[in-house]
């Protein structure tokens, strides 16, 4: 997939906007404008900083209704970095046939990424199967439930088509660095951080580091834009991302 084409989350956002009865109001620049590539105000655009890495894994984002519309959504960043990223709008009463086809595609081994305490013990895993362990070789497909914590729990409980897949439970060593949504608990990782942990577990180390660094740059730009302060392209977070791009 070319990075110049709109990615899965971008397309889902456009589809969701088209369905909107009333306009979704997100504050933008002086005239309310935002960059269509990264959703930030043009002075704080990060499009030129998007990492270009190869990844073996796939990411499947199931997104709560308005999640693709939020400029703070970080599933977007996963789709920026992972070429095989898919995004679907979640609804309790219906399921996209394209999603079902993806989940049944034999090239993938799907994992539902969710905390162990909500799943039946027999489904819980803490690691990703290595190629040597499984025949035929399958690429990991990480299913991320992208929404508020309540929405994610509902998606987990009420998606029968996910119930036969292993539940990958992560052990976050560090508290979330995500400072954009204060309502969430400190320990709750945001979607991009979860994605980076999955990449690391699947030995896509370079992509994991690039996504983490890119996420930090996004957070920095997002917060500085909110405070109407300029960004320093030579500060620590930018240098860390640059090091990933060499
Ligand atoms: Zn941009």
Residues 6+ apart with CB under 8 A from 128: 111, 140, 168, 198, 201, 202
All residues with CB under 5 Å from ion ligand 1: 35, 37-38, 45, 47
| DSSP state, residue 183 | T
Question: Inter-axis angle of helices 205-226 and 191-201, to 10 degrees?
Answer: 170
The Cβ of residue 111 has, within 10 Å, a number of other Cβ atoms equal to 25
Mean pLDDT by 10 residues, the chain (246 residues): 75 88 58 87 95 95 94 96 97 95 96 93 90 79 95 96 95 54 56 93 93 95 94 95 86
What pLDDT is attached to residue 186? 46
What pLDDT is attached to residue 11? 94
102 Cα to the center of ligand 1, angstroms: 29
242 Cα to the center of ligand 1, angstroms: 17
78 Cα to the center of ligand 1, angstroms: 15
What pLDDT is attached to residue 20? 76
Q: How far apart are CA 29 and CA 17, in angstroms?
A: 19
140 Cα to the center of ligand 1, angstroms: 29
47 Cα to the center of ligand 1, angstroms: 4
What pLDDT is attached to residue 132? 67
User: With contact defined as beta carbons under 8 Å apart, do 59 and 195 qualify?
Assistant: yes
Please state the φ and ψ torsions of residue 21, each to the nearest 5 degrees.
-80, -45
Exposed/middle/buried for 30, CB within 10 Å: 0-12, 13-18, 19+? Answer: exposed
Order of all β-strands in the sheet with 124-125: 85-89, 58-63, 139-146, 108-113, 167-168, 124-125
42 Cα to the center of ligand 1, angstroms: 7
What pLDDT is attached to residue 19? 83
State the residue for tokens 């034999």: 106
What pLDDT is attached to residue 176? 52
pTM, 2 dp: 0.89
153 Cα to the center of ligand 1, angstroms: 32
User: With contact defined as beta carbons under 8 Å apart, do 88 and 12 qualify?
Assistant: yes
21 Cα to the center of ligand 1, angstroms: 26
219 Cα to the center of ligand 1, angstroms: 13
108 Cα to the center of ligand 1, angstroms: 31
């Amino acid at each position: 997939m070319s990075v110049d084409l709109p990615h899965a989350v971008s397309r889902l956002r456009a589809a969701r906007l088209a369905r909107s009865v009333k306009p979704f109001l997100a504050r933008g620049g002086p005239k309310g404008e935002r960059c269509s590539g990264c959703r930030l105000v043009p002075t704080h655009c990060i499009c030129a900083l998007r990492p270009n890495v190869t990844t073996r894994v796939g990411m499947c984002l199931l997104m709560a209704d308005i999640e693709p519309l939020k400029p703070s959504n970080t599933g977007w960043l996963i789709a920026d970095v992972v070429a095989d990223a898919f995004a679907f709008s979640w609804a309790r009463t219906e399921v996209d046939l394209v999603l079902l086809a993806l989940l049944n595609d034999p090239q993938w081994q799907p994992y539902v990424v969710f905390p162990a305490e909500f799943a039946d013990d027999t489904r819980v895993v803490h690691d990703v199967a290595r190629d040597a362990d499984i025949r035929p070789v399958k690429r990991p497909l990480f299913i991320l439930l992208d929404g508020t914590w309540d929405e994610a729990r509902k998606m987990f409980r009420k998606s029968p088509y996910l119930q036969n897949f292993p539940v990958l439970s992560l052990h976050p060593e560090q508290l979330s660095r995500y400072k954009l949504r204060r309502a969430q608990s400190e320990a709750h990782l945001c979607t991009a951080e979860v994605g980076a942990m999955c990449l690391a577990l699947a030995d896509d180390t370079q992509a994991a580091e690039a996504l983490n660094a890119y996420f930090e740059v996004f957070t920095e730009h997002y917060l500085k834009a909110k405070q109407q302060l300029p960004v320093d392209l030579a500060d620590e977070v930018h240098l860390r991302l640059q090091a990933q791009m060499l």
